[in-house]
Structure 1
């Protein structure tokens, strides 16, 4: 079997950033999949399930309610390796184009107060597995990467070659 595209990325050189993972044609629409890499693979500890679950709830709620991107949001969810998230948006987009959206999103998570949306037995199949404090910490940490994205010696917007 052929390796899928995401297994051909050099995860040894991959650093936190916003990357275009793939673009798929669906009918007359392009769906862009973004790799929101929050930790350095095989170098830093992975994120725990509880904080990833919290980020997922907050991000999905934020994105689907966003004025510009709400109707273009297809999916937001965790990577199995627990080093980041995938975001699927309708449109032929580049990483730099969504950078302001990502800054807005992760500032929202960093600053979030109150009950996590959908964190109830009625709304979620594992509602007790949440960690808002760690989600906020990780969002603040990733936000620093996003805000300094052009200051790194290597690109954090294009996969390493």
Structure 2
């Protein structure tokens, strides 16, 4: 089988950051998939499932309620390897263009201190697997260490 695009990225040199994973075209429309990489693959411990699940619930809810960009959000969800998230947005966009949104998102998640959206048995298939304090810790760590002073090497995949 042919490798999919995400398996062609050199994960041995990949840093934490925000990258374009791929751009797909649907008729006259483009959809940009962003790789929001919170952990250096194979060099840092991955995000535990409870934290990842919590960030997914908070992040997806936040993005789909953004007063300006909610209609541009297609999907926000975790990577199977648990090193970050995929964010799919309408349009042919760059990491630099979405950085204000990503900064607002991670600031919101780092400070979130309410009931986790959708964390009840009616709304979620694994509602007990949540950890808000550690989710906030992970969001704040990524925000402070990467996003607030993001560099070009954190927005361009290694060759």
Give me the TM-score of the superposition, normalised by structure 1: 0.96
**What does the per-residue CA deviation read over 1:52-83, in whole Å, with 9 as the maximum and x for residues that have no partner?**
00000000000000012100111000100000
Match of 2:67 in 1: 67
- Determine helix, strand or coil for the equivalent of 1:80: coil
Distance 2:23 2:68 in 1: 20
Structure 1 residue 148, shift from structure 2 partner? 1.2
Distance 1:26 1:142 in 2: 32
The structure 1 segments of at least 4 consecutive aligned residues displaced by more than 6 Å after TM superposition are none
Distance 2:46 2:14 in 1: 14
Match of 1:99 in 2: 99
Q: How many residues matched?
A: 158
Structure 1 residue 31, shift from structure 2 partner? 0.2
- Determine helix, strand or coil for the equivalent of 1:155: helix
Structure 1 residue 28, shift from structure 2 partner? 1.3
Alignment of 1:39 with 2:39, yes or no, is yes
Distance 2:95 2:131 in 1: 28
Q: 1:6-155 to 2 correspondence within 5 Å?
A: 6-144=6-144, 145-150=146-151, 155=153
- Determine helix, strand or coil for the equivalent of 1:98: helix
Structure 1 residue 2, shift from structure 2 partner? 1.1
Distance 1:33 1:45 in 2: 24
**What does the per-residue CA deviation read over 1:84-140, in whole Å, with 9 as the maximum and x for residues that have no partner?**
000000011001101111110000000001100100111111100000011000000
Distance 2:119 2:6 in 1: 31
User: Any stretches of 5+ residues in structure 1 without a counterpart?
Assistant: none
Give me the TM-score of the superposition, normalised by structure 2: 0.97
- Determine helix, strand or coil for the equivalent of 2:141: helix
